[in-house]
């Protein structure tokens, strides 16, 4: 197993037109105050969910975050042992989960959402059916192993039993606009298609939106990912996350705004000492009447160079979207960028193993 610290920084600049992809409790787009002005904001949870949704849609092995873990385990128990009926299987599943440290249930459901992989469910069912005497340590071992990619990336917290916690190997920042935004409002009306006699609207209202050039950031702790799912799967898993973090987008009100864009700029850096969020490039908000992307790219690359005074030299820096970049290896497309990062990560891990 690799012992060298390896962190992968993903920096993205992406322009999003009129949209409301991540709403607050009032239905308005989320915002943040940074540098003394209001910024558009998209929560980290929202973007992580978009990545997890992709995993499920693309049939990448994924977990479920659910209150219905007893039901999932009961179904697996019945599939493994046909003599069990539903009531017996539910009773058995709760017994197994309680032994494993999941303590609070209501109406045959857990009281708190629990993140579990299909592999863990299947292994638990097999263990429970094939062992007359159940061992709490073995159950906990199953619940810590057989991790799906999203569980290994985003982690799991079980308040009742810290032994079941999984340290996430990915950190995702809240995306914020590189500039100040001013909320805008869409006043709308709708007519009744079947009402031919009454003029005027059958419904009217307003919705808030904004447009922004977002700075998005995430990092991958490769060592933690190796710890969670093993070296053979960690690099491929990291690259799957990096690609989908770059390409996915939360889908809030997408049918109303059709706001799906791709990034304007991507920088991926492999670091041996610490991840570095470059958001301070925009603490002084970008001001422009001719678009924000060009100045945002310039600011981001300048911040990269400024932070170089404080950290070790990166193993690799790749840039996509700026033909005039002077800070790293210029990539012609996303596939080339991902291939380059994969090659350098693989080499770094192999070199470390050779030194062991």
Distance CA(256)–CA(271), nearest Å, equals 40
Whole-number pLDDT of residue 284: 98
Distance CA 119, CA 137 (A): 18
Q: Dihedral of CA 261/11/179/39: which sign?
A: positive
DSSP string, 214-237: EEEEEEEEHHHHHHHH-HHHHHHH
The pTM (predicted TM-score) of the whole model is: 0.92
Q: What is the pLDDT of residues 39-52, one digit of tens each?
A: 999 999 999 999 99
Residue 218 scores a pLDDT above 90: yes
Mean pLDDT, residues 229-246 taken together: 94
Residue closest to 344 by CA, chosen among 111, 4, 41, 75? 4
Structure tokens at 163: 């032994």
* Same domain? 341 vs 233: yes
Numbers of helices and strands, H then E, in the chain = 11, 14
Question: Which one is predicted more confidently, 199 or 56?
Answer: 56
pLDDT for 191: 79
Answer whether residue 205 shows pLDDT above 80. Answer: no
Confidence check: pLDDT of 207 > 90: no
- How high is the pLDDT of residue 354? 64
Q: Is there a domain that residue 158 lies in?
A: no
Q: Is residue 230 part of a domain?
A: yes
Q: Are residues 220 and 98 in the same domain?
A: no
User: Comparing 187 with 251, which gets the higher pLDDT?
Assistant: 251
Do residues 258 and 183 both lie within one domain? yes
Task: Tell whether 100 and 204 lie within a shared domain.
Answer: no
The pLDDT assigned to 170 comes to: 98
Choose one of 147, 177, 207: the last residue of a domain.
147
Name residue 63's beta-bridge partners. Answer: 117
For the ranges 159-173, 194-208, 214-228, the lowest mean pLDDT is seen at 194-208
pLDDT at 186: 84
50/350 Cα distance (integer angstroms) = 32
Tell me the CA distances in angstroms from 152 to 2, 245, 250, one per residue in order.
Answer: 17, 15, 21
Q: Are both 237 and 140 inside the same structural domain?
A: no
With 90 as the cut, is the pLDDT of residue 314 above it? yes
DSSP 77: H
Any domain includes 153: no
Q: Let me know if residue 136 belongs to a domain.
A: yes
Same domain, 47 and 71: no
18/136 same-domain check: no
Q: Which domain holds residue 47?
A: 7-55+169-355
- Those residues whose C-beta lies under 8 Å from the C-beta of residue 118, and which sit 6 or more positions away, are 61, 63, 64, 148
Question: Residue 28 falls within a domain, yes or no?
Answer: yes
- Does 156 reside within a domain? no
Q: Are residues 29 and 89 in the same domain?
A: no
Please tell me the total count of domains within the chain. 2
Quickly state the pLDDT bin for 198 (edges 50, 70, 90): confident
Q: Are residues 140 and 193 in the same domain?
A: no
25 and 136 fall within a common domain: no
Q: Is 220 within a domain?
A: yes
The confidence score (pLDDT) of residue 206 equals: 74
Does residue 159 or residue 61 have the better pLDDT? 159
Same domain, 300 and 254: yes
pLDDT of residue 1: 47
Residue whose entry in the numeric block shows the structure tokens 């409002």:
185
Same domain, 88 and 139: yes
Query: Would residue 1 count as lying in a domain?
Result: no
């Amino acid at each position: 197993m690799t012992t060298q610290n390896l962190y992968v920084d993903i920096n993205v600049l992406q322009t999003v037109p009129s949209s409301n992809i991540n709403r607050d409790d009032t239905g308005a787009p989320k915002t943040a105050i940074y540098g003394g002005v209001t910024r558009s904001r998209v929560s980290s949870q929202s973007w992580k969910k978009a990545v997890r949704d992709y995993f499920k849609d693309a049939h990448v092995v994924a977990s479920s975050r659910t209150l219905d873990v007893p039901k999932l385990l009961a179904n697996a128990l019945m599939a493994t042992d046909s003599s069990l009926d539903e009531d017996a299987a539910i009773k058995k599943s709760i017994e197994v989960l309680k032994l494993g440290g999941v303590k609070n249930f209501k109406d045959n459901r857990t009281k708190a959402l629990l993140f579990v992989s299909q592999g863990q469910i299947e292994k638990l069912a097999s263990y429970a059916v094939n062992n007359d005497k159940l061992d709490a340590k073995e159950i906990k071992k199953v619940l810590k192993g057989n991790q799906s990619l999203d569980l290994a990336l985003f982690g799991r917290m079980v308040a009742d039993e810290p032994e079941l916690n999984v340290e996430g190997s990915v950190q995702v920042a809240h995306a914020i606009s590189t500039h100040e935004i001013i909320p805008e409002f869409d006043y709308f009306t709708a007519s009744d298609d079947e009402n031919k006699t009454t003029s005027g609207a059958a419904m009217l209202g307003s919705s808030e939106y904004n447009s922004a050039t977002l700075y998005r950031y995430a990092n991958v702790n490769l060592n933690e990912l190796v710890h969670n799912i093993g070296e053979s799967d960690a690099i491929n898993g990291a690259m799957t996350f990096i690609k989908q973090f770059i390409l996915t987008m939360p889908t809030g009100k997408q049918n109303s705004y059709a706001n799906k864009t791709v990034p304007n700029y991507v920088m991926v850096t492999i670091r041996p000492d610490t991840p570095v969020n470059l958001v301070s490039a925009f603490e002084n908000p970008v001001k422009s009447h001719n678009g924000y992307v060009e100045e945002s790219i310039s600011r981001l690359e300048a911040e990269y160079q400024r932070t170089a005074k404080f950290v070790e030299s990166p193993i690799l820096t790749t840039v996509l979207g700026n033909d005039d970049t002077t800070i790293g290896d210029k990539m012609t497309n996303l596939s080339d960028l991902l291939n380059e990062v994969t090659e350098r990560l693989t080499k770094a891990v192999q070199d470390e193993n050779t030194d062991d």
